[in-house]
Amino acid sequence: MEIGIIGLPSSGKTTIFNAMTRGHAAVAGYADKANVGVAKVPDVRLDELTKMYKPQKVVPAEVNYVDVPAPAEGLSKTRGISGQYLNDLQRVDALLIVVRAFEDESVVHVDESVDAFRDVENMMLELTFSDLELLERRLARLDDQFKGAKTVERDAMQKERTLLEQIKGQLEDGVAIREQTLTPDQVTQLQGFQFLTSKPLIVVVNAGEDQLDETDSLEKRLAEAASGDGVRTAVICGQLEMDLAQMEPGDEAEFRVSMGAGESGLGRMIQLSYDVVGLISFLTVGEDEVRAWEVREGTPAQQASGTIHSDLERGFIRAEVVSYDDLMSCGSLAEARKRGVLRQEGKEYIVKDGDIMHVLFNV
């Protein structure tokens, strides 16, 4: 899974990126290329399974983040979505908007004043403008192609035109594509366009350390300002989280308690990323490796097994499945089998979060 991070210059989006990926990307000045980082998904189940199996290797699930540079010029036109990086944004699974709430006289806001909720509205409008521009180009191209098209081609073009004009009208009324009522066939038809407002969205307010006491009220306001299907919100202190991310885990936990900083920003953002895209983790265990694998909710067992290796999906016979809670209650797979909670499931079984799977296959 890949999340694209966008925001106005000096919003602190690269700071947020560093906090989530425990990275060291430069946060000052304008970047001329995207920062790409990987976040390991925190999962206490892996910790407990490690105690049980003492494996040679532990591999958590991962989320990839792409920190897309804000443009140094032309802000009145792009407002934080640089045209040269539009293709990068169209390829990601979800978008993460960072807006600024912290005050710092040494860091000038592009609008000369700090207003996080104004910036949320403006950035979401820019996603809409990007999609409207793409729609207008496609509709103009259809007009040109329609003139010389055959009758059967014209029918398909007219069907596409009707759909594009439908979603364009709703976009102009402020309804993101992710919130529009579309049939499964229409969703499939639109997938190739990779519209930005069709993607799940995370909106993050980057607060200052002096605003930690205001987090709850900011969270409430943000949830009201950026509500909707496929949208999640959070308020975190990016600078504090970035600093803490560089510490050893024990020191970080102790410092969080003393500062009243709450749960890890990394852990929370990963959970939001999972939630908004609809991901779950299934697990594989053994003395060689304990590992978490990310798949979309609703994935059948045969397809999920392909996440491990394509041979498993191609030669899938069945899967031995036990829930994490049942395994921990039993203490071993042998006891789980004895108690009848280790099940034999076929290719159509829908994998659940926390399922521990062993795939039997033949190729």
Domain of residue 153, CATH code:
1.10.150.300
Token output for 214: 């205001």
Same domain, 186 and 210: no
pLDDT score, position 75: 46
Token output for 180: 């529009």
In a domain, 51, yes or no: no
- What is d(CA 142, CA 323) in angstroms, rounded to the nearest whole number? 51
Name every residue whose Cβ is closer than 8 Å to that of residue 118 and which is 6 or more positions away in sequence.
111
Domain of residue 329, CATH code:
3.10.20.30
Tens-place pLDDT, residues 231-252: 999 999 899 888 888 888 788 8
Is the model more confident about 261 or about 21? Answer: 21
Q: Helices 116-147 and 215-225 sit at what angle, rounded to 10 degrees?
A: 20
Same domain, 137 and 158: yes
pLDDT over 80 at 95, yes or no: yes
Dihedral (CA of 205, 209, 211, 216) sign:
positive
Which amino acid, residue 318? R
Same domain, 260 and 356: no
Name every residue whose Cβ is closer than 8 Å to that of residue 142 and which is 6 or more positions away in sequence.
157, 160, 161, 164
| Banded model confidence at residue 74, pLDDT cuts 50, 70, 90 | very low
| Banded model confidence at residue 307, pLDDT cuts 50, 70, 90 | very high
pLDDT score, position 263: 67
Same domain, 206 and 101: yes
Structural domain tally of the chain? 3
Which structural domain, as residue segments, surrounds residue 166? 127-197
Q: Give the closest residue to 277 by CA, choosing from 84, 125, 11, 65.
A: 65
pLDDT score, position 161: 94
Mean pLDDT of 214-225: 91
Is the model more confident about 241 or about 178? Answer: 178
CB 317 within 8 A of CB 244: no
Mean pLDDT of 176-184: 95
Is the model more confident about 246 or about 322? Answer: 322
In a domain, 87, yes or no: yes
Q: For residue 254, give the 3-state DSSP assignment.
A: helix
Tens-place pLDDT, residues 255-282: 877 766 666 767 788 888 888 999 999 9
Same domain, 102 and 215: yes
Tens-place pLDDT, residues 195-206: 999 999 999 999
Token output for 98: 């960072």
In a domain, 289, yes or no: no
Q: How many CB atoms lie within 10 A of CB 274?
A: 19
Same domain, 267 and 307: no
Same domain, 163 and 210: no
pLDDT score, position 76: 47
- What is d(CA 164, CA 143) in angstroms, rounded to the nearest whole number? 13
- What is d(CA 252, CA 209) in angstroms, rounded to the nearest whole number? 16
pLDDT over 70 at 304, yes or no: yes
Same domain, 106 and 21: yes
CA dihedral 129, 130, 135, 141 (to 10 degrees): 120
pTM for the model stands at 0.89
Same domain, 17 and 136: no
In a domain, 281, yes or no: no
